[in-house]
Amino acid sequence: MTHTGRKVAVAIIVGVALTGLGAASVPRSAPNPVASAASSSPAPVAAPVSVKPNFVVLLADDLALMDLGIYGGEAATPNIDALALRGRMFTRYYSSPLCSPSRAMLLTGLDNHRTGVSTIQEMIPPEQTGKKGYSLRFEPGVTTISERLQGQGYRTYMTGKWHLGHGQGDLPVDHGFDRSFILDASGADNWEQKSYMPYYKTAPWFEDAKPATLPADFYSSRFLIDKMIDYIDSGSADQPFFAYVGFQAVHIPVQAPAEFTRKYADTYREGWAVMRKARWQRAQAIGLIPQGAPLADPPQGLRAWESLSAQEQALFARHMAINAGMIEAMDHHIGRLVTHLKRTGQYDNTVFVFASDNGPEPSNPMAGARSMDLWTRTNGYSVSADNWGEKGTYGFIGPEFANAAASPGAMFKFYTSEGGLHVPMIIAGPGIAPGQPSSAMTVVSDIAPTLLALAGGKAEAGAFDGTSLVPLLTGEREEVRSAEVPVGFEVSGNAALFKGSHKLVRNLKPYGDGQWRLFDISSDPGETRDLSEAEPAKFQELMADYRAYASRNGVLEMPEGYDSTTQIGINTVKKMAGHYWWVLAGMGLLIIAALYGIFKLVRRSSGTRPA
């Protein structure tokens, strides 16, 4: 970034602070460089890289577009902010709306259906189970970026959330990682080796090919960085490395050391409506969205902050404080990795990629579910968060704060509205020209071809659905793909297709209605004005593009009336029956014995005996 650009960014952030947008409005971290996009200074061109760079890919879980300080969020993220200032941050980066499909796309550069991971096991209906593209594991012929980099002489390591299978042939060691310590579940506790939902009996951690046990002093973000540092240090310094860290932050249960969380005790006390409006105002001030771009109304069924009791308001504000603290804790441990690489002389030759897998998590596990309340208490969890995110906390932000976190986008995780797809992404390091934040349309499947190109490798024709970002990163171009190239997404019936400034989108129950809508997100990033009737030709054009996308990638239609929340419940009951069959069998025997006893008593009282 130019000196002029930095001055512009500082001036705008100071201006935002002076307007007093509310308790949730002023970021705590470094000045935001998004505003520098208005600078007329030409983008610098990166110096050519003479040796193969190392790669560090840092993937957050359920992090919203504006959760980072550098994107206008409330949490302090100085280490991630520094990476953005060193390289490029992206303001139009899209991932899939759900974790496993996004991770499969990141690791392969392919559409999620082509990888075999079209959705997640918790949400798949029986009509799709086992079908091509829906095996929920990497299918034959799918090649990961780790395998490709191994072919380029790289050491390859992974720590953190995998969630792409743990059966024979499905672990990271089977897909190009030399060493790995991973969680194969949608989430888990951050302090202990235990499940976070009844679907999982325990937390399935693996080191390389074997089940693993967590240390007694485990905290997820700290441990994942510690283990990655150990892996990096154990390898030959003559080989470059690829390090992939899949953080649990900020997936349910939201947990973090109190030293990070308590500082945000007052940040969210004015509630979700104030937070959502404040982020929307900041998004305009720092250039994430155009001035005057409308803000979408919350989805139907969300509560007003004023409808909550004072006790409930305090509880949700505390959960949001823990959420911010968990983000800061992740950033702190990323800083430890950066410091280690600097100390060992590896930092200057390391390319960093930071991104989120999807938008913020809306689930409220306690909403009307007495069985979940019983399960959490039985498993040593407390929703009260009296200990500010320490061991035993079951933290979650719920749909209302998720909608606020997703501001200025609509909706949240699971859905293909902007709140579910539009997330932060940063790339920095050798071969990448520091410059203005990029507004080029980029997607998660672009990362794998970018890393391969930066490593000097070449792929066969058709190997990727994504496009290398190298021409943009080196300053040769400012766009990645033509405005005439359609880009589609689909997960569990929620679908979107981008083409230029237009977006076609459909969301299913419980927060969607299954209707296709058309938006111009260049002027309406909040998706407030449906253009399907005003621009029927454009609507039909994008519908045809979506049908072509769905046919090309093997997208299956959802069963009539599909509701993801209902399906998760059904799949969880089935899974629990498998976990606890012996309990059910014992209960069945007890019931049979009791009925037989009653039968005998009845026969005796009537003067007869059973045959």
Res 167: pLDDT: 85
Res 442: pLDDT: 98
Res 6: pLDDT: 35
In terms of pLDDT, which residue wins out, 355 or 601? 355
CB < 8 Å & 24+ apart, contacts of 552-555: 553/111, 553/113, 553/114, 553/133, 553/488, 553/490, 554/113, 554/114, 554/132, 554/133, 555/113, 555/118, 555/133, 555/490, 555/495
pLDDT higher than threshold 70 for residue 1? no
Res 588: pLDDT: 59
| Burial track 554-582 (b if 16+ CB lie within 10 A, e otherwise) | ebbebeeebbbeebbbebbeebbeebeee
**Residue percentage of the chain with pLDDT more than 70:** 86
pTM of this structure:
0.90
Res 373: pLDDT: 87
Provide DSSP, 443-484. Answer: EGGGHHHHHHHHTT----TTS-SS---HHHHTTS-S-SS-TT
Q: List Cα–Cα distances, 500 to 76, 345, 380, 484, in angstroms.
A: 34, 42, 50, 6
Q: Which residues contact 497 (CB under 8 A, 6 or more apart)?
A: 486, 487, 488, 489, 503, 504, 505, 542, 545, 546, 549
Pairing of strands 350-356, 54-60: parallel
Q: For residues 411 and 419, what is the distance between their CA atoms, to the nearest angstrom?
A: 5
353 membership: H or E segment, kind and range: strand 350-356
Residue bearing tokens 């299913």: 508
Residue bearing tokens 């030959």: 236
Tokens of 127: 């009509």
Q: For residues 344 and 346, what is the distance between their CA atoms, to the nearest angstrom?
A: 6
Residue bearing tokens 């009925």: 595
pLDDT higher than threshold 80 for residue 455? yes
Q: For residues 135 and 137, what is the distance between their CA atoms, to the nearest angstrom?
A: 5
Q: Annotated catalytic sites, by residue?
A: 99, 163
Residue bearing tokens 């006790």: 311
Provide DSSP, 355-405. Answer: EESSS-----TTTT-HHHHHHHHHTT-BTT-TTTTSTTB----HHHHHHHH
| Residues 491-504: tens digit of each pLDDT | 999 999 999 999 99
- Mean pLDDT (the chain) is 90
| Least confident residue range of 17-31, 274-288, 587-601 | 17-31
| Least confident residue range of 296-310, 359-373, 410-424, 472-486 | 359-373
DSSP 291: T
| Residues 96-150: tens digit of each pLDDT | 999 999 999 999 999 999 999 999 999 999 999 999 999 999 999 999 999 999 9
CATH architecture of 3-468: 3-Layer(aba) Sandwich (3.40)
CATH architecture of 487-553: 2-Layer Sandwich (3.30)
In terms of pLDDT, which residue wins out, 465 or 11? 465
| Residues 376-403: tens digit of each pLDDT | 999 999 999 899 999 999 999 999 999 9
**Residue percentage of the chain with pLDDT more than 90:** 81
Pairing of strands 442-443, 93-94: parallel
Q: Which residues pair with 58 in a beta bridge?
A: 245, 354
Tokens of 4: 């002029």
409 membership: H or E segment, kind and range: none
Give the mean model confidence (pLDDT) for residues 31-52. 54
| Residues 545-601: tens digit of each pLDDT | 999 999 999 999 999 999 998 998 899 888 888 876 455 456 556 666 666 666 566
Domain boundaries in the chain? 3-468, 487-553, 566-605
Give residue 584's Cα distance to chain centre. 36
Give the mean model confidence (pLDDT) for residues 328-346. 98
| Residues 209-245: tens digit of each pLDDT | 999 999 999 999 999 999 999 999 999 889 999 999 9
pLDDT higher than threshold 80 for residue 266? yes
pLDDT higher than threshold 60 for residue 293? yes
